Amino acid sequence: MAFDASAALAARQKVQNFLNAACTGNLDLLKSKIEVTACNFMGFDVSFSFSLKVLIFFKLELGQQLGEGKGLAGTVADVKDANKRGALHFAAREGKTEVCKYLIEELKLEIDVKDDDGETPLIHATRQGHFATAKYLLDHGADPAASSELGATPLHHAAGIGNIELLKLLISKGIDIDSQSDAGTPLIWAAGHGQQDAVKVLLEQYANPNVETDDNITPLLSAVAAGSVHCLELLIQAGAVANISAGGATPLHIAADIGSTEIITCLLKAGADPDFCDEDGLKPIQVAAARGNRGAVEVLFPVTSPTQTHPDWTIDGIIKDEAAKQQEEIRSSTEADRPKKMEPQKQDVVKVTPEVKKKSSEAKSVGDDAFKRKDFLVAVDAYTQAIDLDPTDATLLSNRSLCWIRLGQADHALADAKACRALRPDWPKACYREGAALRLLQRFDEAASAFYEGVKLDPENKELVNAFREAVEGGRKFHGTDKQNSKE
């Protein structure tokens, strides 16, 4: 039996409409959607008039008929989007407390249900700063320490957005103040986002100012990377160590790269060593000079010991020497180290009939419309339907890759981009898509290679040329300090 793309997309749209009702907080609309769902499962026409109260009253009697014995609540709980987020996730994310109350108290939905990323409704509410909704969920039994697949708890998100009211509420629940996620503790999140008030509250609750991630990232290093002098001062007052190293670089190297004279001065007062060399053998003053940060060079010059690699040990001499080295590195990256041309991969021959192509085109049209509305999840679903029908169309993979990028799903974006390049290895846009995904993953060297492949195919494409330069610059900027996997 041929797959009916139109029917499948229509079904998915019904799911989206149901979840949209939860998002908007329109409780009457949501109840009507539930009523329609119940009627459909029972075999009644949608126009058949039932009041919600009657349906709930007879829930036990209907239980064997709704969703193969799942009951009304089970049927509603099964309505989810592509990321396994249900009505309660969406209502919590949008701060619709009344909808949450209805779903939890009347339909008895599971309060700590997790989506595909392992996130609970409480995590969604906290990330968006919805205090009333988060408090309601906590008051009704939500786990305050529930963590996502990446280890992030509601406390991490409250710290990251700097919502002090939420932060104090969660701390009052006895959560581990130093709980680790892939991107560190709540204090590291707060410092990394420049949330000085959150940093202050966490330190007052005895958060460890010298806690480290697996990649040796500390709150102080995060504060410096965020360019936050206020967070840095609070951490130093709390006993944070200034002479630490992550990926071979110290906070002083990062400050020199950024060019903040205020942060450099603060670190030097805290005992930071200006003569510490990173993994490339560079002192902070050399990093500042390479970036053209003259002010930083001037602050570091009086406290830095001369190096043999700079015969002219003056401010101007150091800047001149480092600028020359930078130019040589750029020449090397564009000439001597040009990436090898990607060999086209052999593809299995897939025959797509005109009828199937037409259905694929219909699904693509739905995806294009959703993309224009910035409804990227619906667009992904539509493009997936189109790809299933016609796996030979590289444009579909390119479009879905872009949707994944807009959703922040870099791994999915990269997989689609690679598949797209395999289908059309000489298409510049495919190279751009791969480079964009790699850039989002902060794999700058590989991103530069992908962009450069595109430039060779289309030398006049300014977007590709600029992207290549930015990737090279990004790699240089984060070299030695960005080896952590930033997942937040």
d(CA 74, CA 61): 14
From residue 81, give the alpha-carbon distance in Å to each of 36, 87, 291: 18, 9, 46
Query: Between 24 and 224, where is the model more confident?
Result: 224
Q: Give the integer Cα–Cα distance in Å for 447 and 474.
A: 10
d(CA 27, CA 101): 10
Q: How many CB atoms lie within 10 A of CB 351?
A: 6
Identify the residue with better confidence: 309 or 241. 241
Which of 425 and 19 is assigned the larger pLDDT? 425
Among 157-171, 386-400, 455-469, the range scoring the smallest mean pLDDT is: 455-469
Q: Which two tokens stand for residue 484?
A: 């952590």
pLDDT score of 62: 39
Q: List the single range of 135-139, 174-178, 477-481, 483-487 with lowest mean pLDDT.
A: 483-487
| pLDDT for the residue numbered 480 | 44
- 49 or 88, greater pLDDT: 88
Query: What would the pLDDT profile of 191-209 be if each residue is shown by its tens digit?
Result: 999 999 999 999 999 999 9
Of all residues in the chain, what percent are helix, strand and coil, respectively (each to 5)? 60, 0, 40
458: pLDDT strictly greater than 70: yes
Burial of 302 (0-12, 13-18, 19+ CB in 10 A): exposed
- pLDDT one-digit tens code per residue, 315-361: 999 999 888 887 676 566 555 444 444 444 444 445 778 888 888 88
Give which of 145, 132, 38, 68 is closest to 94, Cα–Cα: 132
The backbone torsions φ and ψ at residue 246, rounded to the nearest 5 degrees and listed phi first, read -130, 120
- Per-residue pLDDT at 27: 57
> At residue 418, does pLDDT exceed 50?
yes
Q: What is the pLDDT of residue 409?
A: 85
pTM of the model: 0.62
DSSP annotation of 258: H
User: How far apart, in whole angstroms, are the C-alpha atoms of residue 347 and residue 423?
Assistant: 7
The first and second tokens of residue 13, run together, are 């749209």
Residue 314's pLDDT band (cuts 50, 70, 90): very high
Radius of gyration of the chain (CA): 27
Q: Which residues lie below 8 Å from residue 92, measured CB to CB, with a gap of 6+?
A: 100, 121, 122, 124, 125, 130, 133, 137
Alpha-carbon distance of 146 to 154, in angstroms, equals 7
The pLDDT value given to residue 80: 81
Lowest mean per-residue pLDDT among 37-46, 387-396, 424-433, 476-485: 37-46
pLDDT of residue 472: 81
Q: Which residue has the higher pLDDT, 165 or 339?
A: 165
3-class DSSP state of 437: helix
Identify the pLDDT of residue 34. 52
> What is the pLDDT confidence band of residue 12, given thresholds at 50, 70 and 90?
very low
Which of the pair, 373 or 64, is modelled with greater confidence? 373
pLDDT of residue 113: 95
CA atoms lying within 13 Å on the CB side of residue 75: 24
Average pLDDT, the chain: 81
For residues 61-90, average pLDDT: 68
